[in-house]
Structures are given as C-alpha cells and as structure tokens.
Structure 1
Amino acid sequence: MILLQVQQVARRFGATVLFENVNLDVAEHGRVALVGRNGAGKSTLLKMIAGETTPDAGQITKKRGLTIGYQAQNAGLASTKTVWNEMLSVFAKLRAMEDRIHELEAEMSDPAVSADPEKFQQVSRTYDQLQQDFSDQNGYGYQAEIRGVLHGFEFDEDYYDKPITELSGGQRTQLALAKLLLESPDLLILDEPTNHLDVETLTWLEGYLQGYAGAILIVSHDRYFLDHVATEVYDMAHHGLTHYQGNYSHFIDEKAERLRQEWKEYDKQQTEISKLEDFVNKNIVRASTTKRAQARRKQLEKMDRIEKPEGDEKVARFRFTPHRQSGNVVLDVVNTAVGYDDQVLCEPINLDIKKHQAVAIVGPNGVGKSTLLKTILGKQPAIRGQVIFGTGVDTGYYDQDQTLLHEKKTVLHELWDDHPTTPEGDIRSILGSFLFTGSDVDKVVHSLSGGEKARLLLTKLAMRHDNFLMLDEPTNHLDIDSREVLETALNEFDGTILFVSHDRYFINQVATQVVELSPNGTTRYLGNYDYYVDKKAEQDAYAAKEAAEAEAAHPTVVAPKQTQVDYQQQKERSKAKRKLTRQVAALEQQMGDLEAQKAEIEKTMSLPENFNDAGKLGDLQEQLTSVTDQLNQTEDAWTNQSLALEDFDD
C-alpha cells in the first residue's frame, strides 16, 4: 500500500529551478533514502512532504489518517520539562487510561457498587474492555519502552530528572529524535539524524530503525547508515529525482551502470547520425544519388535524438602531496593521560604510528578523541605521559570546529595570506579545484556554509604539503561526493594519517588500523571498521564466556575500594550494571510487545467468524504457540537478567 505520493512537484526561485517534475512514492513499511549534493533541494522537498511548505507545482497526496513525524536537521527539543516527563508526555492517552482503570477499580471495591449487581456488571464490563485496550496499546510496557530509547541515546537514569534546558544543543537534538521514535508515526521523516551521534549510538539507531513498524524517509550523508537502513534510494540531481532499488552501495553500482548504458546508446546514435550526415553531404548534389540523400535527410529530421548523458556535477579535484618523506617512526604516545584541569578523560594512551599507516581513532562522545589530537599537537597539555614525534615529521591539522579560519577574511586572502609569494592566478586556480570559482573567492569566511568552510580548510591543508595529517572529523559538513573525493585523495596520499571520525564508511575506505579509545586506555585493531566490529564482538563474546565460567567456579567477593585496581574494577562493575540495566529494559519492552501480540491473536481466535473455520483456527493456534514460546523464553531471560542485576546491589 502506498502511504504517500509526490507527483510532478517543483520548487522555483524566480527564474531559477531548484527541482521540477519530481515523483516519489513511499510504501507501507518503506525504507527510502533521499541522497544528493548539498543545495540540491533535499531538505526543501522533505519540508514539503512534511506539510511545512507547499510546492510551486504538482501535488503531494497522502493516505487518509496518515500520521507523519518530521525531524529537521539539528532541530533540538525546546521544553522546560525534565527528560523523563517530556518522554512521558508522548503517552498522555495511555496514562489517562491508566488513571481511569484505577478509578474503576476503586468503584468496584465500593460497597454501594458491589451491592448492585447490574451496576457492578456494567462497571466490570467497562473495566475489562479498558484493561484490554490498555494492554493492546502497550500500557504495561511503555515505561520500559521509554527507558530503552533513552538508554539507546545514552541518557541513563542520572538524566531522567534533569531539566531539558540544562542540556547541550546536541543532547536536545537527540532527545527530539528520541521523542519522535516513541511517538511512532506511520511515516518517519528524518533529515540528517546521524549528526552528533557516536558510533555506539549510531549502531543502536540502525537496529531500532530496521525494526521500526512504520515507513521511513531519510536524508543522510552517512553511507554506512544508509547501507544498513535503506532498501531504496532516490537520487536528487540535475533538478530531478531518479529512483533505484536497493541500499546505498547497490545504488552506486546501478547509477554507474545506468550512466554507462546511456553513454553507450548516445555514442551509438551519434555514430549513426555522423554516417547519415556524411552521406547527405557527399551525395545531395549528385543527380544519381540525390534521392537517396534526401531520404537520409528526412531520416535525420525524424530521428528522436538522445540527449547527451549528464554525469555527476562538477566535483572538487585535489591531492595531498608531501614536500619530503618522514622517517619510519612517525609518532609514539607513551602511557599518556588526557583531559582538562587534572580531570582524566582517558588513560593510559599508547600509540605507535609508523610511516604510511592510516590510523582511525574511535570511541564514545566525551572520551577525549579530539582532546587527544590537541594534546599530541601541544595545543592542550598532557596530564601524564609522553608524546614523541619521529624524524622529519611535518604535521598538518584539520580542526572540526573550523577555528583555524579567520572569519573576517575573504576566501582568496584566507589562502593567499598564508602563501604571499604565490601568484594570485595560481591561488585562484587552486581554489577553483576546490569549487571556489568566480565571485566565490570574494566571499567573507563568516558567510560561508559549513560545507564551504570544510572545503576551504582542506584547501589550506593541501597547500601545506605536510607528510603527517591529523584530521578531526574531516567529513563533517561534506556532502557524499566531497567525502568520496577526500577518500580518494587520502588513499593516494604518500604520507601518514591519524584521524578521528564517526563516519564508518569513511573509516572502512581509509583506515589501515583502528584504535578504540575508552576511559581505560587504547585498544588497537589491525584492520578497517568492519574488521574492528567483528573482532570486538568476538572478544566480547569470549570475555563474557570467561567471566561466566570464572563466576561459576569462584563466586565474586567484593573487595574494599581502596586501591587504584579496586577503583578500576568498580568502574567496570558500574559499566556492566548500566549495560545490564539496558538489557533488562529491552527485555521488558520485548515482553510487552509479545504480550500485545498474544492478546491480539487470542482476540482474533474468539471472533464468531473464525469459530467454524478449522484451517484459520489452526493457523492462529500455531501463531499463538510460537508467540507464547517466545514470551516464555523472554520472561526466562528477563528473570535471569533481573536476578543478575539484583546481585549488583547485594
């Protein structure tokens, strides 16, 4: 079933066409990605679909009663409530239903009602129906659902009573998305939902959206995320939309194949046209062949000409070329602690970076990834430990906060002032290769978009010709095309790279090893992001098995919390408890869902039209048995996890 259709929609600004003749369908349970360059009109189209603006031409039709939830890019939650109370507001109807159930319970226990059989039966019927409706709508599991979503976005119990006004902008954006997920609209429209999320939260969000009951329309530059969530892609380019089935990687392959076929057909026709025109030119004046030439001319006039295929728009072209080679040892970081004002974020940090390696730093938000880069560069003092550069190392730095740019300079002088002996024409040519052309070079830096500032920073970095690049979230603000150009430039770079990134696709393309940062130090994985994920899962499973066997053989005895070792053990214990709490909450939510499924099947089996349908009753019984078995298994798992959680408090 089609939930929503975009038909021949256009947006124009005066004589300028942003897009036109755009068609897009969202089916029930659809997983639709909208991709394209910055400025192509993706967010504009989403606002039209969400009903915030109207198209200049065409129409958008929706299924009757369709509920839409729209999360604009970087839109934070504006509320004076606490985190928990704001999430509770989503379930206001359920809570009112719950209050009414308690009122009916009080009525039934009232002697005056119980003494009146007719009145008691009437209240009982109302109570039974309301309780059934409450159960069907997850009334017994909505609080567990709230806890599960908040934990997914890394809001533990410490945040529940915090006013939202005290949270950071990024946290308010995450809460807005959390609330939207809890509202569960039929169509979820998300514009760059992966901004400000660390890898762990991104992974959780992917899993949640994969199991989401409604349809999803999403704009994102996170290609790894799109690969795991989207099942169809609309490509916004050349003022229109082209539809592709499959995830992002499949779209890339299909788009390349489609363009190849278009060029093949175009070249074939051009060859035929050339032959016909050549024949006409040579034979039109000859009496013996003029009729044939005229026939060829008519054939040319009637020919349905294939337009020259449009490839991708102009992309940046650049390379990183070092002036000289470094020694084999580029950087050693030895037993280092990083943080601020003696507050340690992470230790001990140990890095051993050799020439031509590309090392990705990953870890949760707040663990000190950017702080580590600043500490290595000497911009932030190390609390403990050593940072030792090798011989002949020239270091270039990309700052995700873009503080290395001068807000009042023009684009031209931002680069030219760093290289005053370089002719202006060469500076303009270099800027042109980074897509700063014509009047763009006279723009003042503070007026640039985030993506333009990112390209300007990359221009400055390329002009330095360093042999060791340290990059802090270099793909932030870049569209997908620019990210791919950056990946190519880094893969061709004859030097060494140390970078921080949440872009898992980018890490897969560039990294030769991954270093995970945690409060307890560093762990190195000799491969790309996929290797890191697989290896970490393998290690976690092995560690869990070892811990279970050790616990069975030697029950844990809690030692006094005096030594540093005991302190670290306590930190690990607290972390394990938080993880277990999330698992219990998830199991509670799963039990609520299964109970609702069971109740729905039982209700269907009790319908009069199914009494005499042995085949249908048999199918329903099989479903009931399956759901009941799942519910029993989930309850057993919940009991075991709950008992394990209680052990933490003993």
Structure 2
Amino acid sequence: MILLQTNNISKYFGAKQILKDVNLTIQEREKIGLVGVNGAGKSTLLKIITGQLAPDAGNIMRSHNLTLGYLAQDSGLESSRTIYEEMLSIFQPLIDLEHQLRKLEEQMGDPRVKADQAELERVMKQYDRLSETFREQGGYSYHSLIRGVLQGLDFPEVDDHSPISMLSGGQKTRLALAKNLLQKPDLLILDEPTNYLDIRSLTWLEQFLQTYTGAILVVSHDRYFLDKVVTKIVELEYGQATTYPTNYSGFIDLKAQQQESLLKQFEQQQMEIARAKEFIQRNIVRASTTKRAQSRLKALEKMELVEAPVAKQRQIHFSFDIKIKSGNDVLQAVDLAIGYHGTPLAKDINFLIERGESVALLGPNGVGKSTLLKTIVGELPSLGGYIRKGTNVSIGYYAQQQEKLDPQKTVLDELWDDYPLMDERDIRTILGNFLFRGDDVYKKVADLSGGEKARLALAKLMLQKANLLILDEPTNHLDILSREILESSLLDYPGTILFVSHDRYFLNKMATRVIELSANGTESFLGNYDYYQEKLAERGSQPQTKKEDAKPQPGKQSYLENKEQQRLERKRIKRIEELEQLIAASEDKISFINGELEKPEVAQNYTACLQLSEELSQVKTALDSYLEEWVSLTEEIEK
C-alpha cells in the first residue's frame, strides 16, 4: 500500500530552483535513504513532505489516517518535564486505560456489585474487553520499551527527576529521536539521526530500524548506516530525484554503470548525427541524390536525442603532502593519564605509532578520545605518564568543533594571515579548490555553515604539510562526496595519521590499526573496523571464568609483545611485496632467455647456447626459491 506520494514537487528560494518536478513514492514498510550533496534540497523536501514548507508547484498525496514522525536535523527536544515523564506522555492513552482497569477491579470487589449478578457480569465483560485492548496495544511492555530505547540511545541511568532543560544540545537531539522511535508512526522521517551517537548507539539504532514495522525515509551521510538500514536510495541531483532499488553501495555501482551506458549512447548518437549531417551537406544540392538527403534530414529532425550526461557537481579538490619525513617511531605514550582539573578520564595509556600507520582511536562517548588528542597536541596537560614525539615529527591538528578558526576573520584572511608570504592568487586558488569562489572568500567565519567551516579547516591543514595528522571527527559536516574525496586524499598521504571518527565506512577504509581506549588503558587491534568488530565478537563468545581475566591487561610486557608482533607482521608483508617483484622479474627474464635460444643465429652458436642455458638454469633455481619463500610467508600471515 502507498503511504505517501509526491507529484512533480517544485520549490524556489528567490530565483534559485531547489527542487524540480520531484516524484517520490513511499510504500508500506519501505526503508528509503535520501542522498545528495549539501545544498541539493534534501531537508527542503522533508519539510515539504511534513507540511512545514509549501511547494511552489505539485502536490502530496497521503494515505488515510497516516501517522508521521519527523526528526529535523539537530532539533533538540524542549520540555519542562523530566526525561521519563516526557517519554511516558507518549503512552498517555494506555495510562488512562490502565486507570480504567483499576477502577473496574475496584468495582468487581465492591459487595454491592457482587450482589447484583447482572451488574457484575457487565463489569467483568467490560474488564475483559479493555484488558484485551490494553494487552494488544502494549500495556504490559511500554515501561520496558522506554527503558530499552533510552539505554540504546545512551541514557543508561534514567532518573525520573532529571529535567530535560538541564541536558546538552546533543542529548536533547537524542531524546527527540527516542520519542520518535517510541511513537512508532506509520512513516518515520529522520534527518541526520546519527548525529551525536557513538558507535554503540549507532549499532543499536541500526538494529532497531531494521526490525521497524513502519516505513522509514532517512537522510544520512553515514554510508555504513545506509548500507545496513535502507533497501532503496533516492538521489537528489540538480533538483531532480532518481530512484535506485538498492542500498548505498549498490547505488554507487548502479549509478556508475548508468552514467557509463548513457555516455556511450550519447557518443554513438553524436557520431550518427555527424555522419547524417555530412551526407546531407554533400547530397542536398545534387539532383540525383537530393531526395535521399531530404529523407535523411527529416529522419534527423524526428530523432529522439539522448541527453548528454550532466557535468559533475562542484566538488572539493585537494591532496595532503609533507615537508620532511619523520623517524620510524612517530608517537609514543607511556603510562599516560588524561583528564581535566586533576580528575582522570583514562589512565595507563600505552601505545607506539610508527611511520606510515593510519590509527583509529575508538571508545565510548565520554571516555576521553578528544581529550587524549588535545593532550597529545599540548592543549591539555597530562595527569601522569608522558608522551614522546619521534625525530622530525610535525603535527597537524584538525579539531572537531573547528575552534582554531577565528570567527571575526574573513575566509580569505583566515588562510592568508597564516601564510602571509603566499600570493593572493595562490590563496584564492586553494580556497577555490575547497569551493570558496568569488565573493565567498569575503564571508565572515562566524557566518559559515558547519560544512564550510570543515572545508576551511581542511584547507589550513593541507597547507601545513605536517607529517603526523591528528584528526578529530574529520568527516563531520561533510557530504558523502566530500567524505570520499577526503578518504582518497588521506589514502595517498605519505605521513602518519591518528584519528577519531564515528563514521564506520571511513574507519573501514582508513584504519590500518585500531586502538581501543577505556578508562583503564588501551588495547591494540591490527586491522580495520570490521576486523576490530570480529575480535570483539570472538572475545564476547569466549567463556569468562574470572572477572579479572576478562579485562585487557595494559602492562608494559604485553604492550611490548604486541609491538614486536606488529613489527614482524609488517616485515613479512614488506618481504612478500619484494618477492612478488622478484618473481615477476624472474619470469620476464626466463621468457627473454627462451626467446633468445629460439633465434637461429644463437642456436648455431654452441658457446652462446651454453651460456644462456646456464643463466636460464640459475634464474629458474632462484624463481623456485622465491616462490617457496612466498608460499611460506603468505601461509604465516593467513594463520
């Protein structure tokens, strides 16, 4: 059954058209991801669907009695109630029904009612009917449902007297999400619901939405989340909507195939048109061929033209480089304790990061990940232990809230003041690569959007050419396309990276190692996010005999053993790469010698034949040795 349908929706802001003839159909139980670059009109379309904005053209059809829930981007829940009172208010009809049942129970116990058989029978029938309704509508489970949703969204200890007015902006947004989930509308519309959620909460939300019985329309830049939750992608591009019946990864493949096919069709038709025009031009004036030329001209006029593939959206373009290479040991923490005002958040932090690694720092919200990064860059003092930087290490730091930007400066001055010796033309070129063009460079930093501030901070980071990048949530506020460009730039970066991110797609692509931070230390996992999750699952499935055995031991001995194991692993991988090059070179050499031996002039020269045969034997022996070593090393890595 169709729940909602938009028909040729168009919307202008001033003279600029944001949406053009947008058609969208949402079926019962469908889970749809709405994607597009920043400014494509996603939030505008959601506001039109929910009735907060009126379209300039087109209309919306809704099914009868459709219930709709809407979480706007970064919209916090404002209320004078406590957390639990607000959640309970959703179930007020059930609470009222429960009060009716209690009154009926009192009536059934009343001696006067008991004495009147007809009245007692009437009350009992009413009680049975209301009890069944109460059970069917979840009357016996709504308290546990509230607790489950609040705990899933990181409200582990719900105090009935905790006022909502005392919560932070992020907590209010999570509470607004919790209220929408508890209401269970027929159509749940979510605009960036993953903001302010840590990885544990994200995983819980994915599982909740996967089993949600209503329909979902969600805007998200979290590609991992989209892959897990949605079964259909609607892309807004140049104001128009295109539907793809797949998740995000499937959408990327399908779109690439469609673009390639469309380009081929366009190019073939253009060649056909060029040939037809040439024929017409040659033959239109000749009496013997003019009729054929006229027929060809009519066919050309009637031809249905294939539209040229649209040009790519404006996108940021940059790459990271380094001024000087660091030593092999880049950053070491030994028995480090971090926190604020003498109160530690985490202690016994031990790790060593080596040149070329891309290390993800993971842990629950509030454990101190950003605090650790600020301690490393010197913004906060350590509360114990020490940090040692390696030889020639220079740090480039990307702060989560872009607090390093001066809100009173213009975009141009924010960059130029840090690099006064650069020409204005070069500064403008760099800003242009980050989509600050024309008068955009005279905008005040305070007036920039979150995405614009992120791009400006990345431009400053790129110009530093530091050999150690420390990144705190670098993908926040970036659209999906910009995130992919950032990933490509960092994958080509020749330095070392330590980063914090909740973007699991980014984590999977970037991390060569994961360091898990807890209040009692760190644990290292050699691999990406999926590998880290596998190891956690294995650890969770193993029987635990003693509580202390289940805890990771952050002692120096296990730390050094882990470091040595990682060093040997990297050494094996490097040797395998060398062996593959030697094997390829040996095989080329064997092919060359065999070719020489087949030449008539060589075959008739006994001395030349003998020399080449001996060389061939030596190369084959070496090849066998390389292959044997390659097999042995690959088996070790697999183990």
Query: What TM-score does the superposition give when structure 2 sets the normalisation length?
Result: 0.84
CA-to-aligned-CA distance 1:276-323 (integer Å, 9 cap, x gap): 122223333444433333333222222211111114302111000111
Distance in 1 (alpha carbons) for counterparts of 2:418 and 2:286:
68
- Counterpart position of 2:386: 386
Distance in 2 (alpha carbons) for counterparts of 1:343 and 1:160:
28
Aligned residues of 1:6 and 1:59 also touching (Cα < 8 A): yes
- Counterpart position of 1:613: none
Distance in 2 (alpha carbons) for counterparts of 1:362 and 1:492:
23
Q: Which residues in structure 2 correspond to 1:362-511 (within 5 Å)?
A: 362-511=362-511
What is the CA-CA distance between 1:384 and the residue it aligns to? 0.6
What is the CA-CA distance between 1:37 and the residue it aligns to? 0.9
What is the CA-CA distance between 1:441 and the residue it aligns to? 1.1
SS, match of residue 339 in structure 2: strand
1:278 has 2:282 as partner = no
SS, match of residue 213 in structure 1: coil
Distance in 1 (alpha carbons) for counterparts of 2:285 and 2:425:
52
1:546 has 2:555 as partner = no
Distance in 1 (alpha carbons) for counterparts of 2:288 and 2:356:
72
User: Which blocks of at least 5 consecutive residues in structure 1 are unaligned?
Assistant: 557-564, 566-650
Query: What TM-score does the superposition give when structure 1 sets the normalisation length?
Result: 0.83
SS, match of residue 380 in structure 1: coil
- Counterpart position of 1:189: 189
Distance in 2 (alpha carbons) for counterparts of 1:140 and 1:175:
23
Letter in 1 for 2:246: G
- Counterpart position of 1:524: 524
- Counterpart position of 1:248: 248
- Counterpart position of 2:257: 257
Aligned residues of 1:259 and 1:311 also touching (Cα < 8 A): no
Q: Which residues in structure 2 correspond to 1:501-650 (within 5 Å)?
A: 501-542=501-542, 545-547=543-545
Fraction of identical pairs, as percent: 53
Distance in 2 (alpha carbons) for counterparts of 1:481 and 1:311:
15
Letter in 1 for 2:544: E
Distance in 1 (alpha carbons) for counterparts of 2:26 and 2:515:
40
Q: Which residues in structure 2 correspond to 1:7-406 (within 5 Å)?
A: 7-406=7-406
Letter in 1 for 2:141: G
Distance in 1 (alpha carbons) for counterparts of 2:427 and 2:150:
50
Letter in 2 for 1:343: T
Distance in 1 (alpha carbons) for counterparts of 2:478 and 2:197:
16
Aligned residues of 2:5 and 2:61 also touching (Cα < 8 A): yes
Query: Aligned Cα RMSD in Å?
Result: 1.4
User: Which blocks of at least 5 consecutive residues in structure 2 are unaligned?
Assistant: 549-554, 556-639
Of structures 1 and 2, the larger Rg is shown by 2
Distance in 1 (alpha carbons) for counterparts of 2:148 and 2:303:
63
CA-to-aligned-CA distance 1:583-609 (integer Å, 9 cap, x gap): xxxxxxxxxxxxxxxxxxxxxxxxxxx
Letter in 2 for 1:501: S
- Aligned structure 1 segments of 4 or more residues deviating by more than 6 angstroms: none
Distance in 1 (alpha carbons) for counterparts of 2:154 and 2:275:
67
Distance in 2 (alpha carbons) for counterparts of 1:327 and 1:32:
49
What is the CA-CA distance between 1:158 and the residue it aligns to? 4.7
Distance in 1 (alpha carbons) for counterparts of 2:287 and 2:158:
96
Count how many residue pairs are aligned between Structure 1 and Structure 2.
549
What is the CA-CA distance between 1:546 and the residue it aligns to? 2.6
Aligned residues of 2:83 and 2:158 also touching (Cα < 8 A): no
CA-to-aligned-CA distance 1:212-241 (integer Å, 9 cap, x gap): 111111000111101100000000001100
| Structure 1 residues 541 and 372: alpha-carbon distance in aligned structure 2, compared to 1, 3 A threshold | same
SS, match of residue 544 in structure 2: helix
CA-to-aligned-CA distance 1:314-342 (integer Å, 9 cap, x gap): 21110001111111111001111111012
Distance in 2 (alpha carbons) for counterparts of 1:350 and 1:527:
18
What is the CA-CA distance between 1:55 and the residue it aligns to? 1.1
CA-to-aligned-CA distance 1:425-476 (integer Å, 9 cap, x gap): 1111111111111111111111111101100110111111111110000001
Aligned residues of 1:104 and 1:123 also touching (Cα < 8 A): yes
CA-to-aligned-CA distance 1:249-301 (integer Å, 9 cap, x gap): 10111111111111011011011111112222333344443333333322222
SS, match of residue 79 in structure 2: coil
Distance in 2 (alpha carbons) for counterparts of 1:469 and 1:516:
19
Larger RCO (alpha carbons 8 Å, 6+ apart): 1
SS, match of residue 393 in structure 1: coil
Distance in 1 (alpha carbons) for counterparts of 2:283 and 2:394:
69
- Counterpart position of 2:580: none
Aligned residues of 1:71 and 1:190 also touching (Cα < 8 A): yes
Distance in 2 (alpha carbons) for counterparts of 1:282 and 1:158:
84
Letter in 1 for 2:157: E
Letter in 2 for 1:232: K
Letter in 2 for 1:291: K
